[in-house]
Amino acid sequence: MDLSIASNRSVEGRIASNAGLLIGTKALGAFIGLLALGVAAKNLAVPEFGIVVVLHGYMLFFGEMMTFQPWQSLIRFGSDDVEAGNGGALAGLIKFTAKLDAVSVVLSYLAAIAFFGVFLAAMQAFPDLVENALPLPPGELYQLAIFYCSVLLFQQIGMSTGVLRLFDRFTGLAISGMVMPSVRLIGVLIAASQGWGVVGYVAVWYVASLLRYLTVIGLGVYELHSRGLLRPVIRAKVSFLKPRDGVWAFSTKAFTDSSLGAGFTHLPLLLVSAVFGPAVGGVYKVAEEVAKLLSEGVKLLDQVIYPELARIISAGEGRKILRLVTRASLLSIAVGIALAGVVYVIGPGLIDRSIGQDYALAVDLAVLLVLGAAIFAAVAPLYPVFYAVGRPERAIYARLGGIIAYIVGFFILTAWMGPIGIGWASIVGYGVALLLVVALVSRTLAVFAEGASPT
């Protein structure tokens, strides 16, 4: 078995290289995604377009909310196995994460179809806002949701993602990230030329997501095969309930944290759609995609830094952490603020020329969402510290405080300002999370530097 992670670069060099690769491809993917949204928005009525993006956002919410994020456990404990050269233990850990993947996707799908009726009821609870906004009867929309959410059953990518990140295979992850936006753009061009309706566009979104998941799974399996690990993983005997000491406790905390993270990422679109209807939900989605075009890549830093921090801990060099994450955090917020300025300058022309006046509100929302993302950019490199030192519950505290602040701010600010309050609520939520995470990281690293276990 080959457990080597061959690289002549320093830790900072690997982080810079991998982050540049992911940020570059993420920005390109966001641009392609915005083009796809533009084509769909031009060829569907605003409420129909809203239904497409709301269904996708709803699926992603449950896909992330119900997953145990097994890649985090794989990196946290697998780094120790790689450092020790223990291929058997690593094979057992990988098989456990594969099982956890399978359980997660089934739970995700069951939860998604169970709660869609509640989501529909929430939309119908605001008749003054949503009257006549649904382009399909509720019963047909429910059936469409059951179909679309079935793609969750193929979202078994946690194990493969963990393997690729553990062995520094970020090129594969970057390639897989381009699959969904590229397929979606091709699909909407076909749908537009053929005059497909809302169901056809939903099918395009489905196929694009499906192919992205299958690509990640295939890359992960190939990596195991190339390292002689695939057969040991298949033959490994590991208890699902008792895989190894500490794994379930860590996985449970990672699950809670990822569920809250899904709230930050996908709950806004669902709240907007439930309160203001799918038409405003579609406008919000355009604003979100503009923000992603310029800021989403910054958020990937935690995925790049976490494996490096785990290796630093396994090698007994934890004192390097503070300098590393401080530099990354300062760089992130500087880039985020600069990108917010770019959106402010080019946003109005971009929206007007690419989609039209029906989405004018998206410009102001996009500026506010990027400002919120700029605040989060400072937080992104800090969350992995909690996982690297084995204290993921502290990430939970910070995210929980932020999501509560967002939800409270959403209802107060939208009641006061209308839909534009959505953007200000994101700034409030990210701001509270920033204050909490800085305080908790400072305490964690202060204790860790003294040679004690953070508590």
Segment 67-120, tens digit of pLDDT = 777 888 888 888 888 888 888 999 999 999 999 999 989 999 999 998 887 777
- pLDDT tens digits for range 19-32: 667 667 777 887 88
* pLDDT confidence tier of residue 131, bands split at 50, 70 and 90: very low
> Among 3-12, 154-163, 238-247, 264-273, which stretch is predicted with the lowest mean pLDDT?
3-12
> Quick one: pLDDT at residue 455?
44
The answer to whether 406 touches 264, Cβ cutoff 8 Å, is yes
Q: What is the spatial distance between Cα 62 and Cα 237, in angstroms, rounded to a whole number? A: 30
- Please state the pTM of the whole predicted model: 0.74
Most confident of 36-45, 124-133, 278-287: 36-45
Amino acid (1-letter code) at residue 159: M
pLDDT at 209 over 70: yes
Q: What is the spatial distance between Cα 135 and Cα 125, in angstroms, rounded to a whole number? A: 17
* pLDDT confidence tier of residue 148, bands split at 50, 70 and 90: very high
pLDDT at 409 over 80: yes
The residue with tokens 């005059």 is 195
> Quick one: pLDDT at residue 305?
63
pLDDT at 185 over 90: yes
> Among 199-213, 274-288, 421-435, which stretch is predicted with the lowest mean pLDDT?
274-288
Sketch the domain layout of the chain as residue ranges.
Answer: 11-449
Per the model's pLDDT, the better-predicted residue between 450 and 267 turns out to be: 267
> Quick one: pLDDT at residue 360?
64
- pLDDT tens digits for range 418-450: 888 888 998 898 889 888 888 887 777 666 555
Once rounded to an integer, what is the mean pLDDT over residues 352-377?
A: 70
Once rounded to an integer, what is the mean pLDDT over residues 346-352?
A: 63
- pLDDT tens digits for range 216-262: 999 999 999 999 999 999 999 888 888 888 888 888 877 777 777 77
pLDDT at 306 over 70: no
Once rounded to an integer, what is the mean pLDDT over residues 195-201?
A: 91
> Quick one: pLDDT at residue 130?
45
> Quick one: pLDDT at residue 23?
67
Once rounded to an integer, what is the mean pLDDT over residues 249-277?
A: 77
Once rounded to an integer, what is the mean pLDDT over residues 346-358?
A: 61
The tokens for 137 are 């009867």
DSSP-assigned states of every residue in 326-391: HHHHHHHHHHHHHHHHHHHHHHHHHHHHHT-GGGTHHHHHHHHHHHHHHHHHHHTTTHHHHHHTT-
Nearest to 389 by CA among 433, 449, 323, 432: 449
